[in-house]
Amino acid sequence: MFRQTFAKINLLHLKYNIEFIRSHLSSDQFLCPMIKANAYGCGVIPVASALRDVNIRRFGVALVEEAVELRENGFQQEDIYVFSTFTQESLRVCKELRLTPIVGSLDDLILLSKLKEQISIHLMFNTGMQRLGVVNEDSSTILKLLENNPQIRLMGICTHLATAEDFSEENSFAKSQLKEISSIRSRFSSSDFHLHALNSAGFMGALDQGIENYKEYGVRPGLLMYGVNTFSPQIFKPKPVMSLISQLIKIQKVNKGQGVSYGHTWRPARDTFIGVVAIGYADGVFRQLSSKIEFLIKGHKVKLVGAVCMDYLMVDLGDIVQSRSEAENLIGEEVLLFGENLYGSADITNVAENAGTNSYDIMSRVGVRVPRVYS
């Protein structure tokens, strides 16, 4: 690497987190880690390989293209579930590559009926997310269509929780969704297929409420597996999988009142030293973070000041150095934006909150020009 900016991906932490989840499930409970969107920015092939190392044999993706990438990289025996909408051509690819479509519309079921070749599917029901999914009222139509098309093998049904964070509340909408999908499940006679509904927040909510009461629901972990738990941190503190690290590359002496970065939106109230860091919004550092957040240099907090640039950002070193020589001694030091390094840790949720978004967004938008370094 010519530029010392990288995302450190700790696959041991990934394995630790998924093992925690699996340890609370029964042996026959459906477990399907979500590795869509390049495994939340962590790198789909290394992440899938690490999961395979601990005998995970199911993966969830959002695009047929993502599933094809897995097959082309040696994942031939694993069950790959595609949560998407489909065309005749994409269903043909699913058939050829032994992918399992998660079907969420009557139109897609009708397309499947035209294949005339055996294919296994799961059905997604919309129980409140208002995104993908067939509805309960269509169950009779679906059952008739499946009866008339025995080549379509229904192997599972599922739903997606819209407000899993409210799981512990008395009138939890998430729990009403679980009740609805259980009721739908009872209309299908097959006893050997999967029912899955719990995302990361849903799993933690079920754990908090007594996981033994939710054994019928399979789990599709995402953010929790990647080391973020904003739901019940008192129950489980996952280990961070991604750490975003850059380098202090230059020192600037800035006088009181001088403007810094585009638009001079920040001016110091004292003479200070500004450090230039080799990372910017093209790498995934949101411009909304400008002058709002602190990063870590050798374990010391330094504030991001001025507007984030495409390739660089600036930090105020005035609280940790008193002279130019002290400041220049920091050139080449790591700057930790989130995750952990030898000097400490920085919570990605703090970054997300200051950017007005969530941790999924922060991780998945770390740019393609940021190398992933695996450990």
* pLDDT, tens digit, 9 for 90 and up, residues 238-261: 999 999 999 999 999 999 999 999
The pLDDT assigned to 231 comes to: 83
- Looking at residue 1, its pLDDT comes to 78
The reported pLDDT for the residue numbered 191 is 63
β-strand 6-9 against 372-374: which pairing, if any? parallel
Counted residue by residue, the chain has a size of 375
Domain boundaries along the sequence of the chain: 31-219, 242-374
Question: Of 41-45, 140-144, 190-194, which range is least confident?
Answer: 190-194
CA atoms within 13 A on the CB side of 190: 13
Chosen CATH of 242-374 out of 1.10.3720.10, 2.40.37.10, 3.30.9.30, 3.40.1010.10: 2.40.37.10
The tens digit of pLDDT for each residue in 107-125 reads: 999 999 999 899 999 999 9
Assign residue 90 a region (left: φ > 0; alpha: ψ between -120 and 50; beta: otherwise).
Answer: alpha
User: Is 36 an active-site residue?
Assistant: yes
CA atoms within 13 A on the CB side of 115: 27
Question: What is the pLDDT confidence band of residue 199, given thresholds at 50, 70 and 90?
Answer: very high
The two structure tokens encoding residue 218: 């399979």
Q: How far is the CA of 203 from the CAs of 51, 83, 95, 327, in angstroms?
A: 19, 19, 31, 47
Contact criterion met (CB below 8 Å) for 370 and 337: no
pLDDT, tens digit, for every residue of 60-73?
A: 999 999 999 999 99
Q: What's the pTM value of the predicted model, to 2 decimals?
A: 0.95
Architecture of domain 31-219 in CATH?
Answer: Alpha-Beta Barrel (3.20)
Burial class (CB in 10 A: 0-12, 13-18, 19+), 352: buried
**Set 36, 40, 214, 217: catalytic member:** 36
Active site residue 256: no
Could you give the C-alpha distances from 62 to 18, 40, 68, 75, 85, in angstroms and in order? 20, 11, 11, 17, 9
Residue 193: band (very low, low, confident or very high) from pLDDT cuts 50, 70, 90: confident
Flag whether pLDDT at 190 surpasses 90.
no
Predicted local distance difference test score (pLDDT) of residue 142: 96
User: Which one of the listed residues 215, 250, 256, 262 is annotated catalytic?
Assistant: 262
Phi, psi of 329 (to 5 degrees): -65, -15
Q: What is the pLDDT of residue 230?
A: 83
CA dist., res. 257 & res. 272, Å (int) = 10
Rounded to whole angstroms, the maximal C-alpha distance in the chain is: 80
